[in-house]
């Protein structure tokens, strides 16, 4: 399970890097924008507020607009997971990688593979869901993609 979350984390960090860098590998861009995006995500992730409004208020104190935006995105993602409601992911999250991670989180929490169908490509969601829940039947949904299917089965069987 740790391996799956590591892969998702690496995917998200890679997405942040690619989106913030926009092809520019200068140190200035690397330190400024990606640093604040990461800080904004951490602010939202580590807040222990029980209510969405409190979380959003905490984001108002963020260092800059990028950190504030990422913090708010984290608040909405946490709320979606808390309510098991992917409509929050779809309506409130503007960054595609956060939207996908939000949908995957709700799919895992609800153990609902149908939610993975909202993503394209959906195969990584199915692999992650199957690995997190230990449900081998979820792997059957990607049976036509041999490599992903085999990876999915191996991950589930490794947990048993």
Note the pLDDT tens digit of each residue in 41-99.
555 554 445 689 898 998 998 878 998 999 899 999 999 999 999 999 999 999 899 99
Is there a single domain that holds both residue 30 and residue 56? yes
Is there a single domain that holds both residue 85 and residue 126? no
Task: Lowest mean pLDDT of 17-21, 107-111, 125-129, 142-146, name the range.
Answer: 17-21
Classify residue 101: in a domain, yes or no: no
Q: What is the DSSP letter of 121?
A: S
**How far is residue 40's CA from residue 137's CA, in Å, rounded to a whole number?**
37
Where is pLDDT greater, at 131 or 20? 131
Is there a single domain that holds both residue 62 and residue 9? yes
Structural domain tally of the chain? 2
Classify residue 103: in a domain, yes or no: no
**How far is residue 137's CA from residue 28's CA, in Å, rounded to a whole number?**
47
Helices 27-46 and 65-83, packing angle to 10 deg: 40
The sign one gets for the Cα dihedral 48, 41, 80, 7 is negative
Is there a single domain that holds both residue 129 and residue 160? yes
Q: What is the pLDDT of residue 4?
A: 44
Is there a single domain that holds both residue 63 and residue 125? no
Q: Where are the beta strands (DSSP E) in 10-114?
A: none
- Structural domain including 116 reads 111-160
Classify residue 104: in a domain, yes or no: no
Q: What is the pLDDT of residue 157?
A: 95
Is there a single domain that holds both residue 89 and residue 36? yes
The arithmetic mean of pLDDT across residues 100-104, rounded, is: 95
Q: Would you say residue 29 has pLDDT above 60?
A: no
Is there a single domain that holds both residue 2 and residue 44? yes
Is there a single domain that holds both residue 67 and residue 29? yes
Q: Would you say residue 130 has pLDDT above 60?
A: yes
Is there a single domain that holds both residue 79 and residue 126? no
Q: What is the pLDDT of residue 12?
A: 42
User: CB 70: neighbour CB atoms within 10 A?
Assistant: 25
Q: What is the pLDDT of residue 137?
A: 96
CB 79 within 8 A of CB 104: no
Is there a single domain that holds both residue 116 and residue 89? no
Q: What is the pLDDT of residue 50?
A: 67
Is there a single domain that holds both residue 83 and residue 122? no
Q: For residue 8, count CB atoms less than 10 angstroms from its CB and return exposed for 0-12, middle for 13-18, buried for 19 or more.
A: buried
Query: pLDDT > 70: what percent of the chain?
Result: 69
């Amino acid at each position: 399970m740790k391996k799956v979350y590591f892969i998702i984390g690496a995917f998200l960090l890679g997405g942040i890097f690619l989106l913030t860098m926009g092809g520019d590998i200068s140190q200035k861009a690397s330190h400024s924008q990606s640093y604040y995006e990461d800080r904004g995500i951490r602010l939202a992730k580590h807040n222990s507020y029980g209510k969405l409004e409190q979380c959003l208020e905490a984001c108002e104190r963020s260092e800059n607009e990028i950190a504030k935006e990422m913090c708010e995105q984290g608040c909405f993602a946490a709320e979606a997971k808390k309510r098991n409601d992917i409509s929050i992911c779809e309506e409130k999250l503007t960054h595609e990688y956060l939207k996908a991670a939000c949908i995957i989180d709700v799919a895992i929490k609800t153990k609902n593979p149908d939610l993975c169908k909202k993503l394209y490509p959906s195969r990584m969601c199915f692999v992650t869901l199957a690995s997190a829940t230990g449900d081998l039947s979820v792997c059957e949904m990607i049976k036509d993609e041999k490599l992903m299917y085999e990876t999915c089965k191996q991950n589930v069987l490794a947990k048993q």
